Amino acid sequence: MKYSILVDTYEKLEKTPSKLGKRDILSELFLKTPSKKLPRVVLLIMGRVFPSYSEHELGIANQMMMKTVSKATGFSSGDIEKKFKERGDLGLATEECVKSRKQKILFKKELTVDNVFENLHRLAFITGVGSQERKLNLITELLTSAKPKEARYIVRTILQELRIGVAEGIMRDAIGKAFLIKEGMTKEEKNEMIEAVEYAWNIMSDFGEIVKIAREKGIVGLGKVKIRLGKPIRVMLGEKAESIDEVIKNFGKIAVEYKYDGMRTQIHKKDDRIWVYTRRLENVTNQFPDLVDVCKKGLKSRECIVEGEVFGINPKTKLPLPFQLLSQRIRRKYDIGKMVKEIPVKLHLFDIVYLDGKPLFNKKFIDRRKILETKVKIIPNKLELAKQLVTDDIKKIQKFYKKALAARQEGLFLKVLDSKYVFGRRVGGWYKIKPIMETLDLVIVGGTWGIGSRVNWLSSYVLACRNPDTGKFLPCGMMGTGLTEEQFKLMTDILKGLILKEKGRRVVLKPKIVVEVAYQEIQKSSKYESGYALRFPRLIGIREDKGSNEADTVKRVSDLFKTQGKVQ
């Protein structure tokens, strides 16, 4: 299959704002794609060559990419960097360079999907002495044969910035339309087909595998997919509750648990093998060897999937550390042993969803908890169960709430006793109670270099909410106060690698980092594209567990504005 066919599809998707339009473009492509090529095509449409949960990374940053483009086109790295700053997109800068490349290509071949996929796939496995040069050669091989538009999308794929607006829901619907939905089906039957793809996605987290099953085995095959240890499942998420009283009124007696200020963790065990995943299904097993050892000792089953919260512990005081410090371990690839000593961790388990070959999704929460209690050997200060109270007494819950906050945790989870494990959010089984109800999870899309003592720091940040229909991030405020010196340094270290464009002291940033923000109030504003402005926003923490596509929407900002009870 020619890569140019995929590139034409990328361009159509990029120019099509409608979700239904994108779905139709993809379903048409899938129907024309040979079965053997489908998994690779689907992964490339998602902008990757590995499933999202894979620990493999291509390991190519902007600077190395510019060096590669220079080698492939004859332009200097300085010329390429200038074009990059002008366009804010290294893919478009590369396209321009390829259009007017300064050196002739003697042996140029037409690129195929397999050429591109295999070269990019190999990047992740090149290590050791001379690895950078070998990676550079693999990419150069592609770029020297690429047409200008092909070069644009190769570079974007490598940098994971495809920019075609295909999220999980669009991919799910496209697979359903291509291979499951038939003419004459009722609305209910169509929904059943889409739900079958959704179910398989929740279990497998890999559309590359799912699309092949959908084409070859249909809805029956999708319904038979099974959990595979070492491949994470989608997790159940909680809703924000207005009050404790409201939840008790609706459900009566409930399970009340600490909401820990840490990393939501999904742990798989198969004999002596342990895998650790974050809420976003990132594989962080290598970053937490101490957690692996504890789970080997404390999980009393041959096979299981358990969920819990991991948080850092101050080695001296034994008190919980802020999540920002734990996030250093999540991102760390080297000096792991040093981090284990500096930021030891504690795991509190709260659920079990799979045990010795059997999924437990359809069991009541209270029954899953009882099973969990029989399968965990408590290791004090290392592996424990989430603190829990089962009651409908509001005064007891409020007392428990105060204890959670005094223990430096975030708040409470209120869990319906007979709720089943349902993938995703807003499913009506788990409810969150936090002392600051109106925080927002926003994306940092820009910043400003400081002056004076802060000259080397990005010391103010442009915050943006999300428009789910267009995929755009809409600015809604600036945050530049309330951070400690250590936090300014940490934020600068995280953000400076995401700079897309600089003009004077101002920078445009790749929208990747999500932060939880508190504020005094929300105001109407013509200054910001969202139409709203946060007054006195302050940093609560970095949301390592959230991707930019999970940031709060402009509708949530609007809803919070309306509930302030003020006429603007």
Catalytic (active-site) positions: 259
Distance, CA of 294 to CA of 296 (rounded, Å): 5
Sign of dihedral through CA atoms 32, 34, 35, 36?
Answer: negative
| Residue 329 DSSP one-character state | H
Q: Which residues contact 263 (CB under 8 A, 6 or more apart)?
A: 278, 279, 284, 309, 310, 311, 323, 326, 330, 544, 545
Buried b (16+ CB within 10 A) or exposed e, 256-283: bbbbbbbbbbbbbbeeeebbbbbbbbbb
Q: What is the DSSP string of 436-460?
A: -TT-EEEEEEEEEE--GGGTTSEEE
* Helix or strand holding residue 40 (H, E): helix 38-45
Distance, CA of 531 to CA of 521 (rounded, Å): 14
Distance, CA of 200 to CA of 205 (rounded, Å): 8
Tokens of 66: 């510019």
Distance, CA of 410 to CA of 406 (rounded, Å): 10
Q: Which residues contact 198 (CB under 8 A, 6 or more apart)?
A: 172
| Spacing of C-alpha 123 from chain mean position | 22
Contacts 24+ apart (CB under 8 A), 341-344: 341/315, 342/315, 343/312, 343/313, 344/290, 344/312, 344/313, 344/315
Tokens of 373: 């209690």
Q: Which residues contact 334 (CB under 8 A, 6 or more apart)?
A: none
Distance, CA of 277 to CA of 281 (rounded, Å): 5
Q: Which residues contact 268 (CB under 8 A, 6 or more apart)?
A: 229, 230, 232, 274, 275, 277, 304, 305
Q: Which amino acid is at 384?
A: E
Tokens of 16: 């099509």
CA contacts within 13 A on the Cβ side of 414 = 29
Instruction: Match 């792991």 to its residue by tokens.
Output: 336
Distance, CA of 98 to CA of 75 (rounded, Å): 9
Distance, CA of 355 to CA of 376 (rounded, Å): 12
Distance, CA of 3 to CA of 120 (rounded, Å): 13
How many Å is the Cα radius of gyration of the chain?
Answer: 25
Distance, CA of 42 to CA of 282 (rounded, Å): 20
